[in-house]
Chain A
Amino acid sequence: MVDAVLDGIQPLAGRGLWADAWRRLRANRAAVIGAIVLGVIALAAVAGPMLAPHPIDAIYWDRVTMAPDFALGHYFGTDTNGRDLFARTLYAGRISLALGLAATLVSVAIGVVWGAVAGYFGGRVDAVMMRAVDVLYALPFMFFVILLMVYFGRNPLLLFVALGAVSWLDMARIVRGQTLSLRRKEFIEAATAGGIRDAVIIRRHIVPNCLGPVIIYATLTVPNVILLESFLSFLGLGVQEPMTSWGVLISEGARQLEGGQWLLVFPAGFLATTLFCLNFIGDGLRDALDPKDR
């Protein structure tokens, strides 16, 4: 037989979508560079504040709104309160990245499962599940956050809960729509006819085939969450001084555009770079997960 001859040349081990996707992702230059840059930013955010020459909450009265000065160790300058912007920007990265990624993961996890189950089973299940989403949509977000704060006190963990609780709603709707169109496809019928369990069909057929829009939407959710957090902080419901986040730094910097451009440029640069990286990774993932797209 042929395989006796070719044995050892090409292994007959079966591969799956994920192994193939990982191989394709590594071959995608933009995605790899994006991942490396994002890794560096994450590392700087975690380790940076410890390495920075100044603590985040030290106030230097004689150095208010000072331009970047390497001799004094203020690589990014100081803010209107005389605090070192370098340390604060890196520290802010912790909060923004953690919030952005955690809320997005929550939104993907809940939204994909919720939407896929509702769309796949359809009928009454779909009606009940999607009406629940509608009800949550109708709830004013600020009202929801204020209620949480009143009941549980101010707690950074609540921010995660609040942001996660709203961000999965769109995802659920997107995935449900995708699932509705997938459910009519013949390969889903083939799986049903082949005796595959519903849960397995959702996991193996529905979810992987929804991933393209899910990934794109997830990369758009990260900046949304980061900006939403700065809005909450501005209202006094988010992170509080001396802690800070990119969103907070950017909104403060925007007010000092005359005379203190660095206050906007550095935090905004970090946020923009992070988002670029996420977009490249997201694009790479989407392409890697689509075997046809090569």
Chain B
Amino acid sequence: MSAASILSVRDLQVSFDLRPATLFGKRRRLVAVDGVGFDLAAGETLGIVGESGCGKSTLARAVLQLLPSSAGTVVWLGDDLGSLSPEEMRRRRRHMQLIFQDPLAALDPRMTVGEIIAEPLDAFEPDLGPAVRGARIAESMDLVGLNPLMINRYPHEFSGGQCQRIGIARAMILKPKLIVCDEPVSALDASIQAQIVNLLGRLQREFGLALIFISHNLSVVRHISQRILVLYLGRLVELAPAEDLFVAPRHPYTRALIAAVPVPDPLIERAKPRLVLGGDVPSPLDPPSGCAFRTRCPKAITLCAERRPETTEAGPGRLVACHRWRE
């Protein structure tokens, strides 16, 4: 898409073979991410939204090669990550970091904060002297708003928001080009959420970071993202610049998601037209034929059950996968 794209994902598919429940049961295949593609420019934020279980985290892990993908390519600065040896891949991890949903679980309970933050540094720049290393740790802690004097504390002594800051400090210490944020604020209080989102936004502006920001909370994603990718049952539903997506959603699922965002004003909230989706998300073990969303879609027609909609260009920088997006 854009010329300065650093990451380019094409037709990525991740599937898991499930063991049969009985001895002679048949092996089943769960396709968690199905044919998702996007580009990411340097310094850009791509938000990924979807209901729980739609494959957001799986997508993130497959992009970072933490999970094997069954099809498709992930190209990072010209290298196809899937074809690299483990050691070559490990070297590239210097520039792509991950932060987690559960901030405490992502920190080793037996390491001090200083050691946790220094870990990527120790892996990639092992020859630093103790003074330089200490200064880098302090710098990174300062950057995320942690007092460097807390270097010898253990993770359980911190609140959730502080733990997430520790995770961000660890991700930032090598000044990476990309940070994948897997629901970084979902486990935090609303007041802390804003702080962490603002922190990520500030770091992005200061260091030209690219972010992949995963959340099920559309308001949070809208706040930080330039473009938003909507996933449903592991498939790309719509990809559009953030404002365009909110102003003119093309896909019925996106429309329903946006309608479900609560407005902090009871009068508007009550007057708002309801667009409630019926039914549950189908099982990814047994996805509907054709369009995955057709079982809950208010506009579904017979074509939707027969043929899977292609991902088509719907305006500048917009992709949508729906047979009836024009209507």
A residues engaging B (CB < 8 A)?
2-3, 6, 10, 12-17, 20, 185-187, 189-197, 200, 204-205, 208-209, 289-292
Contacts and interface: CB of A to CB of B under 8 A. Distances in A.
B243 to A, nearest CB: 31
A260 to B, nearest CB: 51
A116 to B, nearest CB: 15
27 contacts: A12-B148, A14-B134, A14-B151, A15-B152, A17-B110, A17-B111, A17-B115, A186-B105, A186-B106, A187-B106, A187-B109, A189-B66, A189-B98, A189-B106, A190-B106, A190-B107, A193-B98, A194-B120, A194-B123, A195-B120, A196-B120, A197-B123, A209-B108, A289-B110, A290-B110, A291-B109, A292-B156
A193 B66 contact: yes
Given A16-B115, A186-B100, A291-B156, A10 B149 contact: yes
Given A186-B106, A197-B123, A291-B154, 14 more contacts: A2-B149, A12-B134, A14-B114, A14-B115, A15-B152, A187-B105, A187-B107, A193-B98, A194-B98, A194-B170, A195-B93, A204-B119, A290-B110, A291-B156
Interface string B74-116: 0000000000000000111110111010100111111110110
Contacts, number: 104
A195 B110 contact: no
A17 B97 contact: no
Interface bracket on B: 35 or more
B147 A186 contact: no
B64 interface: yes
A129 B80 CA distance: 33
A134 to B, nearest CB: 22
A50 B80 CA distance: 72
Contacts of A10: 149
B137 A14 contact: yes
A20 B100 CA distance: 27
B138 A12 contact: yes
Nearest to B108: A187
Interface in B241-281: none
Contacts of B92: 195
Interface of B: 64, 66, 90-94, 96-98, 100, 102, 105-112, 114-115, 118-120, 123-124, 130, 134, 137-138, 147-149, 151-152, 154, 156, 167, 170-171
A193 B97 contact: yes
A192 B105 contact: no
A194 B124 CA distance: 10
Contacts of A289: 110
Contact of B119 (A6, A185, A196): A196
Contacts of B102: 186
Given A194-B170, A291-B110, A3 B156 contact: no
Contacts of A3: 138, 148-149
A114 B33 CA distance: 36
A14 B151 CA distance: 6
A185 B110 CA distance: 13
Contacts of A13: 130, 134
A200 B147 CA distance: 28
A200 B130 CA distance: 19
A180 to B, nearest CB: 16
A191 B105 CA distance: 12
Name, among A190, A192, A205, the residue most crowded by chain B CB atoms within 10 Å (CB to CB): A190
Contacts of A20: 112, 152
> Which of B147, B148, B149: most chain A Cβ within 10 A?
B149
- A20, A193, A208 pick with most chain B CB within 10 angstroms: A193
The 4 closest A-B pairs by CB, nearest first: A195-B93, A14-B114, A193-B98, A291-B154
Contact of A195 (B123, B138, B147): B123
A200 B138 contact: no
B109 A195 contact: no
B170 A209 contact: no
Nearest to A187: B108
Residue in A12, A15, A292 whose Cβ sees the most chain B Cβ within 10 Å:
A12
Nearest to B138: A12
Nearest to B180: A193
B36 to A, nearest CB: 19
Nearest to A15: B152
B84 to A, nearest CB: 13
Contacts of A16: 111-112, 115
A187 B119 CA distance: 12
Contacts of A194: 93, 97-98, 119-120, 123, 170-171
Contacts of B96: 193
A114 B90 CA distance: 24
A12 B149 CA distance: 6
Contacts of A195: 90-94, 120, 123-124
Nearest to B147: A2
A10 B138 CA distance: 14
